[in-house]
Amino acid sequence: MNRLYLFLISIFLSSYALAYEVTENLQIHGFFTQSGVYTSDNNMYGNSEDSMTGDLREAGLNLFYTPLSNLSFSFQGLYRKAGKVDNDSVDVDYAFMDINLKNYASGHYGLRLGRIKNPIGLYNETRDVAFTTPSIILPQGIYFDRSRSFLLSSDGGQLYWEHLTENGNFNLKVSYGVTRNDNDELLKAIIPYPTSKFPLPEPQGELEPSGTIPSFLTQISYEQNGGEYIYALSFADAELKYNPKGNELYQKGHTKFDMYVLSAQYNGEKITLTGEYKYQENEFKDFGVLYPDVSPVSESWYIQAAYRLKYNWQLYGRYDESYSDKNDRNGSNTKRVGDPAHMAYSKSTMLGVRWDINTSMMIRAEYHNIDGTSWLTSADNPDRSHTERYWDLFALQFSIRF
């Protein structure tokens, strides 16, 4: 256990005293989450194959300051360890100014400026806070940890509007800014990397957001009966460019994603039902002769049910499917170029249990039975052609918040 880990634990164990010292205009909150992952085959969040890894942990400290009734500032610093993808990284998760431009009888609207979490699906804006997510591992076809940093947040602005009616509440968020890419995993997902069966040259350059073409993201949602029914439609238009290095064979390529996510949720007294569907148009062009122009359409969906045995005990289960190309659901095209077909898809069944010890502490455990490996990172599985199609995953999690 490293010194940083001990330091983070000491902060959170003493955080309750800190929470009582804030002023009327300043709120300070935080969280710490430690997870353990075991897999029968393949690696997930570290060296998990046939062993338990503790290389999945997150800690965050956030501040909310309201100097004026219509002006507020929000900030969160995040520490994250997720196998070799996020290796003890410390980052500004979000930092923005919120100006409430107008209040009226049935709602309000305003503007946020800075680093803003992107409104995608039901969980992207709060995916790092374990208490707000439906499971230890989110449905990976929509909330990819492999390319998490890309659509997690943007540096720019967001217009928001909330309108209340007798039949329900409407919320609209429109974001415009530069997306982020803090690791090489997205590059490895876009450009074919060498494997033992397909020895392509390894790209030497890097992906970066197309700074002259900021990304556009928007979400409209509708809630009834105080959140009993929630419906949302999210859209993201994001672009990246590849900058080659030296005399490598890959050229200045261009990547474009158009993502649509449809979400629905029912929250009853005992039961929560959730379903989300993602349709994503992808475009990869101008990378050169080693990577001909392609425009696959990826598709993902899941359904999840949770049942509250008691106020602090919950059972939950999920089934999800994800395809890199909806016209190649069995991975035959992937197999044709020398890689295993199962790299093109993932199908998963999950069962879990959650125990809220109190309002500040939670323990979860879950089991995943998985067919396919499109989830897997190249950082934890350097030669993905040697991964296994069928595998099991067990996860434990402990989280505290203040």
Average pLDDT (245-269) is 89
Angle at 303 between CA 297 and CA 305, to 5 degrees: 165
Weakest-pLDDT range from 232-236, 320-324, 328-332: 328-332
Domains, the chain, with CATH or none: 3-401 (2.40.160.10)
Query: Is the pTM of the predicted complex or chain greater than 0.85?
Result: yes
Q: How far apart are CA 216 and CA 142, in angstroms?
A: 18
Name the strand (E) or helix (H) holding 244: none
Q: How far apart are CA 174 and CA 261, in angstroms?
A: 15
Question: pLDDT tens, 327-353?
Answer: 989 988 877 777 788 989 999 999 999
In the prediction, which pLDDT does 49 show?
Answer: 92
Instruction: Indicate the pLDDT class of residue 56, thresholds 50, 70 and 90.
Output: very high
Dihedral angle computed from the Cα positions of residues 275, 116, 361 and 273, in that order, rounded to the nearest 10 degrees = -10
Beta-carbon neighbour count of residue 59 at 10 Å?
24
- Distance between first and last Cα of the chain: 23
